Amino acid sequence: MSPRVILKLGGSVVTSKGLSGAIDTRTIDAIAGEVARRPDVPLLLVHGAGSCGHPEAARYGITGGINANNRRGVGETHRAVRRLNDAVVTGLREHDVDAIGISPLGAYFIEDGDIVAATTEQLGVMIDLGIVPVLHGDVVMDRTRGASILSGDRLVRTLAPALGIQRVGLATDVAGVLSRDGEVIPNLTPGDLPSTTIKGSTFTDVTGGMAGKLSELVVLAREGVPSEIFHVSRIGDFLDGSPHGGTHIHGG
């Protein structure tokens, strides 16, 4: 069997990030087509929140902790990102991909921002059956803060080692990690990062944009799992193992 693959769809590729709640169904349909054309790739998908979740998380101040005054934000944020998850799963199923939406809220527990419990073994069973689990960045209960945001990138970073996955790709709305003058940086190692200036995101992003993404992928690289960041239009190339013009992050 081919090796298992994790593909993360950035929130900015599946939503219109400036427009609150706007789901980009055309892009979802195009991505679903690419996945459907490669039925032999054992795949797990993760997507971010984009304009379905980040605005709610920011409005209710979720990253500052939850109390009786803002607890409504847990449900509002979760519902927003679930709505997006449903659209992604629907798009995939319309292309005959056996996708199932799975929310971290019911399977993960956090303490002061760090994952302390996660039930993930079932995901491996699904992948081996040819089912595509579709997880998403979510709001998750936190023992000390009440609730925390669990980003899709953190999910990717922890799921890859848990499921023995060595191929990790992140599809974004840019061609890769960009230097300050807008050029794709083709290779990054954890040692390069302190001396590298990258271009940041300007949208509401409670999980830190490209810098937040890189901090997770660097941990993954140190654990021996390489990852790749590329433009959403190159998903087919990534799934085929072909050059995609993006950034490879590896242990060095």
Q: Which residues bind ligand IPE (CB under 6 A)?
A: 10-11, 48-50, 53-54, 57, 77, 81, 137-139, 149, 151-153, 205-207
User: Could you tell me which residues come within 8 angstroms of residue 30 by beta carbon, excluding any fewer than 6 positions away?
Assistant: none
Contact 100, 126 (CB under 8 A): yes
Sheet holding 247-249, edge to edge: 99-101, 132-136, 43-47, 5-9, 167-172, 227-231, 247-249, 187-188
Contact 94, 127 (CB under 8 A): no
Q: Which is nearer to ligand IPE, 216 or 237 (CB)?
A: 216
As measured in angstroms, the least distance from the Cβ of 127 to ligand IPE is 20
As measured in angstroms, the least distance from the Cβ of 206 to ligand IPE is 5
Q: Which is nearer to ligand IPE, 200 or 243 (CB)?
A: 200
Q: Which is nearer to ligand IPE, 77 or 227 (CB)?
A: 77
Q: Which is nearer to ligand IPE, 137 or 169 (CB)?
A: 137
Torsion angle in degrees (nearest 10) through CA of 147, 151, 155, 158: -80
Q: Which is nearer to ligand IPE, 81 or 115 (CB)?
A: 81
As measured in angstroms, the least distance from the Cβ of 96 to ligand IPE is 26
As measured in angstroms, the least distance from the Cβ of 224 to ligand IPE is 23
Among residues 231, 220, 162, the alpha carbon closest in space to that of 188 is found at 220
Give the Cα separation of 154 and 158 in Å (integer).
6
As measured in angstroms, the least distance from the Cβ of 167 to ligand IPE is 19
As measured in angstroms, the least distance from the Cβ of 118 to ligand IPE is 16
For 51-103, give the DSSP string.
TTTHHHHHHTTGGG---TTTTHHHHHHHHHHHHHHHHHHHHHHHTT--EEE--
Q: Which is nearer to ligand IPE, 31 or 240 (CB)?
A: 31
For 70-84, give the DSSP string.
TTHHHHHHHHHHHHH
Q: Which is nearer to ligand IPE, 16 or 90 (CB)?
A: 16
As measured in angstroms, the least distance from the Cβ of 62 to ligand IPE is 8
- Residue 141 — φ and ψ, nearest 5°? -65, 140
